Amino acid sequence: MGRPRMLNAGGIDPIAEEPHPPRAADPAALACAISAEASAVLAVMRRSLRHPRAAADDAAADHPLVSSLKALRRLAFAPAAAASPSLPAAALRPFLDAVRSEEANAAVTSASLAALHEVMALTGRSLPGSALREVVDAVASCRFEAGAEAAAEEAVLMRMLQALLACLRAPAAPALGDQHVCTAVNTCFRVVHQAAAKGELLQRFSRHAMHELVRLVFARLPLIGGADAEDATVKPEMSGMDKNHPFGIGQMENGNGSYASEAGIPDENSADESGLSVEPYGIPCMVEIFHFLCSLLNVAEQIGFDEDLPLFALKLINSAIELGGSAIAKHPKLLSLVQDELFRNLMQFGLSISPLILSMVCSIVLNLYHHLRSELKMQLEAFFCCIILRLSQPRFGATYHQQEVAMEALVDFCRLKNFMVEMYANLDCDITCRNVFEELANLLSKSAFPINCPLSSMHILALEGLIAVIQGMADRIGNATSRPELRPVELDEYAPFWTVKCENFSDPQHWVKFVRQRKYVKRRLMIGADHFNRDPKKGLEFLQGNHLLPEKLDPQSVACFFRFTAGLDKNLVGDFLGNHDEFCVQVLHEFAQTFDFEEMNLDTALRLFLETFRLPGESQKIQRVLEAFSDRYYEQAPQAFANKDTALLLSYSIIMLNTDQHNMQVKKKMTEEDFIKNNRNINGGNDLPREMLSELYHAICRNEIKTTPEQGMGYSEMSPSRWIDLMRKSKSTPPYIVSDSQPVLDHDMFAIMSGPTIAAIAVVFDHSEHEEVLLTCVDGFLGIAKISAFHHLEDVLDDLVVSLCKFTTLLNTSLVEEPVTAFGDDLKARLATETLFTIANRYGDYIRTGWRNVLDCILRLHKLGLLPARVASDAADDSEASMETVQGKPAPSSISTSHIPVMGTPRKSSGLMGRFSQLLSLDSEEPRSQPTEQQLAAHQRTLQTIQKCRIDSIFTESKFLQPDSLLQLARALIWAAGRPQKVASSPDDEDTAVFCLELLIAITLNNRDRIVLLWQGVYEHIANIVQSTVMPCALVEKAIFGLLRICQRLLPYKENLADELLRSLQLVLKLDARVADAYCENITQEVARLVKANAGHIKSQMGWRTVVLLLSITARHPDASGVGFEAIMFIMSEGHLSKSNYPFCIEASRQFAESRVGLTERSIRALDLMADSVSNLARWSQDTQGPGICLQSSTWSHAFDLVIFALLDDLLEIGQNHSQKDYRNMEGSLVLAMKLVAKVYLQLLPDLFGLSSFCKLWLGVLSRMEKYIKIKVRGKRSDKLQELIPELLRSILVAMKSRGILAKRSTIGGDSLWELTWLHVNNISMGFQSEVFPSQEYEQPNNVSSPRGVNNVEAQN
């Protein structure tokens, strides 16, 4: 039933120290106060004190109690006493006498105790320790007349408690000494016990008083020194904490029915009164009190289950631990009580069906972990394995309330930042301990899964535990000075794994490497155990191959493998140990040597031994096993038996008794006498002590020895034998490692728990609809992402991204009629989306394959028109917003692809505001319903969510991504775009491909310093688009101009890649004719911009060839030729003409000159460009070989054939066969052609003469002069040619004569050159021979050789 809170309106705790009344300012005031208290007690005494002549006042005045009070009144006002320091103690004695008196009734005793409390309050600061000790003694021996009413008796008990509390609160309380403190606590507990039959107020007050006393005592523990403080001898009176009574207190009723403690009234000549000093109370009394509190748990277990007493004891213990704190570890006796007796009882009460007791047990262990974990390594392992892990799972029979309390306790532990890492370092990385961290993490993950049931508080609780563990790891990242470098652990050679020690457990540089190696060994041992369970021989071979067993097996190593490896099949181990093979027998004896049976009972030792394997069924195997056990036991306990045969025989007898008592098929059970009789004369011919045999008999009857132990690693209860083994093990276990808040082991831990944790949080996120739970899950997702990124666990981060993408609902919005509205109404989807893109922005460096899932969500947002307009922008767009023009026309794709007109189907307006405006707009032709307020609010929430996502930052900030992540992002974009198809794709697919290409180009431009990383994939993707497109479309348009844009922007920064970038422009030449024609003008404009901006960065011949070729092909395009020619002019006239590009520019100029597109003026300008370029040739020749253009003679011969003669022949053909109206200036052209051939011939005559083909070349000149002089222009021969050709011919002949080239060299046989020359010259003009050679000189000058090839020409003629 409910109990009222003992707090008044002001919130005052009745147990808290009552405020002292103002102390008297002078001795007179103190005297008045003391006199008033004495008068109050006297008044009660006069009415209640028993006396034979009580009717007369004078008779009552003769009573000693009355006399002492009257004397006190006189003393208080005495001038000498007022200044005496002994006044406070003297003022207490009359009241103490009244408390002790058996003649005083309850009213007198109550009034005396009240007066005592008031006087102590007035004089508390000056009360000496001796006075406090007197008060404790008086209260402990308080007596009063029997037969008092219940209310009066309760008042006396409450006054007693107030007095005891005042003593412990007094400034001089430490001077009480250990004995009196124990007496005070004992007295208080006696009142607690007596209050059980009293009113509820007294019950509450007494328990609170006991609680306060314990707190006051143990609050001094941190102030006491180390272990040397325990050397004080505990007085015999300390045994006054009597525990014979079931409730831990001795009660005695005197003849009058009054109450007193069994300690009785102490002798008046106490130690301090006899002059001996009393040490302040300290460790001895604390040890005694703590032991007493622990014993209450033992007593409660003996008398049956009653949660009231153990719960009260547990609360007191918890208070003592809270106040004592880490100081307990400084005192071995207190620490020993905690390690053994307390924890053993906690293990028993931890399985209580009472949630209150279980909760208090967990609270105590939580405090013990916080303060003393370095001393409780094995105890903590036992607590988690036998209590938490057992009660948190219903399969072990725990009730729901037990599961809930155990899970709450586990979550509290997880909230301690370093709890899990310390469990991992100390237990999971210890080959002799359980994998507590791993099992707790799995428990939390499994408990968070709502399997075939709705989400419950238990699931949320487990989720909080998981999040706490994740948050602890994330916080440690914040404390990290740098990322720990963890190298893979390997064993290069064999070393006995059970003997490896760490050099320094206080230095992380030592113990981190050590525990990681131990964890590796432990994991390999468990794998080896799995192999052993399937095939023992292969299991041992596996361990040998992993350097965990020596190449040549020895008995000790195999025995230690059996002893320290968890998960072994105990049947196989038992068969191996019981085998008669010599090696197996040696292993058996080495196995027995691993046990410590010192100071252990035989049955306990046998239990421990048989728990590690299954005892074989064959008698011979049993004998070998028990022989090995007996040898080891007798070796460590030789005083127990006469010889080892005694141990063997008694062990056999115990096994037989165990079978007899616990086998259901045995009907007639062995009695104690039978057992004793069976074991006569086995101790070297003598009998064993009857008490020992009787104890063994009853121990076996009460608790069966499990000869078939549990398989695997279950969560069994803590038995007494296991506890003994645990305490032995705790003495030899490595020191407890205290974490220093650095993430040195988090990588390994997170790798273990990440998968189940992500799945568990995702399931809860999926099943929950509460915002608080969803936000908790989001915190978990962000923490996982932070840890994964810090420890470079890319696979984990990818898995997290995949899970989040499922919750965004963006991948399946086709199933929703209004996806934008539905998204705005779905809090879970919006949180998931915001979390996804937060992770992508913060930790994108470590996303790999997850980029594909992120892009799926981005593409869906793009299709819904929810993306910001600048998602595909690059960093330079802002600075280059203004566009340059070429020939007065804007360059559509000069900088941003957004300027390019799209040839395909126009897309709907996109962007956040565009989408919102679509909602608000109403079609005038087809009226639509006005959107509701709910729809508007949903859209507004959607827009706000997308803005928070900062999706554009993923691409604009891609320059900060690590190379691997950037490459994966680019590949994801290419994958999302899909492979281009030659057949027309759907509008949605094309839109997706275009958008992905925009993003790909954006990150390429943003990462110009790392273009080598991306270029191959980008180029191949664009090439696939170009080569597979046969009709103009938006995709190929983006591809072409994106490629041009990349080249334009990167050429100034990547000269080493200039050739590669320019070579990529050859893709434009591979465009389908229809595509090329559609975009020719824009392509030319872009190429022109590229040339003007980057002409100085184009160095190679290949680069110029590509660029000029792209420009030259526009010569016949009506729209593009103008821009193309302007670019050629820019190259040739603005100082960019070079040896690398000269041939290509000349060819381009020729094409523009021959082009019929455009005005004639352009052709003339093209010819002028070609003519002006000769100066460059001359300059280059001068720089290399001297003045003039120096070419090989043979080259000039080809120049005549291919250029000059071809030009003359073409003009001749045009003049003869075409209408003169089409070529109005044909006569001028023919005149210029003749001047050209004459001028070139004369200038090159010295070089040409030496050629073998000189005669042929010379005759070619003559034959064309002959033809030109005969040509008719407008129906008649040209007067200009008739006049010009003879003059030119005369000049040539004179020059040839002067150089000795033309002369008649022989009269015999004739001269071919001479004869052929005059043959053609005479056809032109008859008088040249006599004019040039008037004397007809036939002789050849000596310095001129005969021209080569003359005979050949003659032969041809």
* Per-residue confidence (pLDDT) for residue 725, from 0 to 100: 87
Instruction: Look at 1351 and 221; give whichever has higher pLDDT.
Output: 221
pLDDT band at 303 (very low <50, low <70, confident <90, very high): low
* Per-residue confidence (pLDDT) for residue 766, from 0 to 100: 92
The mean pLDDT of 478-493, rounded to a whole number, is: 80
- Evaluate if residue 1194 carries a pLDDT over 50: yes
**Pairing outcome for strands 1272-1273 and 889-890:** unpaired
- Evaluate if residue 655 carries a pLDDT over 80: yes
Instruction: Look at 58 and 654; give whichever has higher pLDDT.
Output: 654
- Evaluate if residue 1104 carries a pLDDT over 80: yes
- Evaluate if residue 247 carries a pLDDT over 80: no
* Per-residue confidence (pLDDT) for residue 903, from 0 to 100: 31
- Evaluate if residue 800 carries a pLDDT over 70: yes
* Per-residue confidence (pLDDT) for residue 58, from 0 to 100: 53
Taking a C-beta distance cutoff of 8 angstroms, is the pair 1357, 1261 a contact? Answer: no
* Per-residue confidence (pLDDT) for residue 968, from 0 to 100: 95
* Per-residue confidence (pLDDT) for residue 105, from 0 to 100: 83
* Per-residue confidence (pLDDT) for residue 84, from 0 to 100: 65
Q: Which residue do the tokens 């103008």 mark?
A: 1122
- Evaluate if residue 264 carries a pLDDT over 50: no
Average pLDDT of the chain?
A: 82
- Evaluate if residue 208 carries a pLDDT over 90: yes
Of 1079, 1162, 1081, 1164, the closest CA to residue 1118 belongs to: 1081
The mean pLDDT of 676-680, rounded to a whole number, is: 90
Query: What does the DSSP assignment read for 731-794?
Result: HHSPPPPPP-S--SSHHHHHHHHHHHHHHHHHHHHHH---HHHHHHHHHHHHHHHHHHHHTT-H
What are the backbone angles phi and psi of residue 961, rounded to the nearest 5°?
A: -70, 150
Helices (H) and strands (E) in the chain, counts: 61, 6
Instruction: Look at 982 and 546; give whichever has higher pLDDT.
Output: 546
Rounded CA separation 531/1064 (Å): 58
- Evaluate if residue 1335 carries a pLDDT over 80: no
The mean pLDDT of 120-125, rounded to a whole number, is: 78
Opening angle at CA 275, ends 270 and 279, nearest 5: 75
* Per-residue confidence (pLDDT) for residue 500, from 0 to 100: 84
* Per-residue confidence (pLDDT) for residue 969, from 0 to 100: 95
Structure tokens at 877: 């767009």
Q: What is the 3-state secondary structure (H, E, C) of 473-505?
A: HHHHHHHCCCCCCCCCCCCCCCCCCCCCCCCCC
Instruction: Look at 1346 and 1316; give whichever has higher pLDDT.
Output: 1316
Taking a C-beta distance cutoff of 8 angstroms, is the pair 350, 383 a contact? Answer: yes
Q: Which residues pair with 889 in a beta bridge?
A: 886
C-alpha distances (whole Å) from 514 to each of 312, 509, 525, 747, 1355 are: 44, 9, 16, 15, 102
Taking a C-beta distance cutoff of 8 angstroms, is the pair 709, 614 a contact? Answer: yes
The angle, 0 to 180 degrees and rounded to 10, between the axes of the packed helices 827-843 and 850-863 is: 130
Structure tokens at 275: 């002059």
Within 13 Å and on the Cβ side, how many CA atoms surround 1283? Answer: 4
DSSP 427: I
Rounded CA separation 467/1140 (Å): 67
What are the backbone angles phi and psi of residue 580, rounded to the nearest 5°?
A: -85, -5
Taking a C-beta distance cutoff of 8 angstroms, is the pair 136, 93 a contact? Answer: no
pLDDT band at 199 (very low <50, low <70, confident <90, very high): confident
| Low-confidence winner among 237-246, 497-506, 965-974, 1292-1301 (lowest mean pLDDT) | 237-246
* Per-residue confidence (pLDDT) for residue 81, from 0 to 100: 58
Q: Give Cβ neighbours of residue 1025 (< 8 Å, ≥ 6 apart).
A: 980, 993, 997, 1035, 1036, 1039
* Per-residue confidence (pLDDT) for residue 715, from 0 to 100: 60
Structure tokens at 1286: 């003879």
Q: Give Cβ neighbours of residue 1178 (< 8 Å, ≥ 6 apart).
A: 1187, 1188, 1189
* Per-residue confidence (pLDDT) for residue 131, from 0 to 100: 87
**Helix, strand, coil proportions of the chain in percent (round to 5)?**
65, 0, 30
Q: Which residue do the tokens 């607690």 mark?
A: 192
* Per-residue confidence (pLDDT) for residue 1222, from 0 to 100: 64
The mean pLDDT of 920-941, rounded to a whole number, is: 69
- Evaluate if residue 914 carries a pLDDT over 70: no
- Evaluate if residue 158 carries a pLDDT over 60: yes
User: Hey, which residues are catalytic here?
Assistant: 618
* Per-residue confidence (pLDDT) for residue 209, from 0 to 100: 94
Burial class (CB in 10 A: 0-12, 13-18, 19+), 1294: middle
Share of the chain above pLDDT 70, in %: 83
* Per-residue confidence (pLDDT) for residue 776, from 0 to 100: 95
Which run of H or of E encompasses 948? helix 933-949
Rounded CA separation 1289/1308 (Å): 28
The mean pLDDT of 488-508, rounded to a whole number, is: 82
- Evaluate if residue 789 carries a pLDDT over 80: yes
Q: Give Cβ neighbours of residue 200 (< 8 Å, ≥ 6 apart).
A: 3
Rounded CA separation 495/490 (Å): 12
Query: What does the DSSP assignment read for 1016-1032?
Result: HHHHHHHHHHHHH--S-
- Evaluate if residue 768 carries a pLDDT over 50: yes
The mean pLDDT of 805-832, rounded to a whole number, is: 84
- Evaluate if residue 779 carries a pLDDT over 90: yes
C-alpha distances (whole Å) from 87 to each of 72, 118, 125, 138 are: 10, 15, 13, 18
* Per-residue confidence (pLDDT) for residue 258, from 0 to 100: 41
* Per-residue confidence (pLDDT) for residue 273, from 0 to 100: 46
pLDDT band at 1 (very low <50, low <70, confident <90, very high): very low
- Evaluate if residue 269 carries a pLDDT over 50: no
DSSP 583: H
Share of the chain above pLDDT 90, in %: 36
| Low-confidence winner among 327-336, 888-897, 1171-1180 (lowest mean pLDDT) | 888-897
- Evaluate if residue 919 carries a pLDDT over 80: no
Of 909, 908, 916, the closest CA to residue 941 belongs to: 916
Rounded CA separation 180/177 (Å): 6
pLDDT digits (tens, 9 = 90+) for 1021-1031: 999 999 888 88
> How large is the C-alpha radius of gyration of the chain?
55
Taking a C-beta distance cutoff of 8 angstroms, is the pair 126, 86 a contact? Answer: no
pLDDT band at 234 (very low <50, low <70, confident <90, very high): very low
Instruction: Look at 258 and 936; give whichever has higher pLDDT.
Output: 936
pLDDT digits (tens, 9 = 90+) for 440-463: 999 999 999 888 788 899 999 999
pLDDT digits (tens, 9 = 90+) for 322-337: 999 999 999 999 999 9
Positive or negative: CA dihedral 522, 528, 532, 533: positive
The angle, 0 to 180 degrees and rounded to 10, between the axes of the packed helices 308-324 and 283-302 is: 160
Rounded CA separation 543/530 (Å): 11
Rounded CA separation 994/715 (Å): 60
Taking a C-beta distance cutoff of 8 angstroms, is the pair 16, 208 a contact? Answer: no
* Per-residue confidence (pLDDT) for residue 790, from 0 to 100: 93
pLDDT digits (tens, 9 = 90+) for 507-538: 888 888 889 999 999 999 999 999 999 999 99
* Per-residue confidence (pLDDT) for residue 4, from 0 to 100: 37
* Per-residue confidence (pLDDT) for residue 188, from 0 to 100: 93
- Evaluate if residue 320 carries a pLDDT over 80: yes
The mean pLDDT of 1136-1164, rounded to a whole number, is: 87
Q: Which residue do the tokens 């991306």 mark?
A: 1014
* Per-residue confidence (pLDDT) for residue 15, from 0 to 100: 42
- Evaluate if residue 729 carries a pLDDT over 80: yes
Opening angle at CA 259, ends 165 and 179, nearest 5: 45
| Low-confidence winner among 676-685, 815-824, 1070-1079 (lowest mean pLDDT) | 815-824
pLDDT digits (tens, 9 = 90+) for 346-392: 998 988 888 999 999 999 999 999 999 999 999 999 999 999 999 98
The angle, 0 to 180 degrees and rounded to 10, between the axes of the packed helices 1142-1154 and 1160-1172 is: 160
Q: What is the pTM for the complete model shown?
A: 0.80
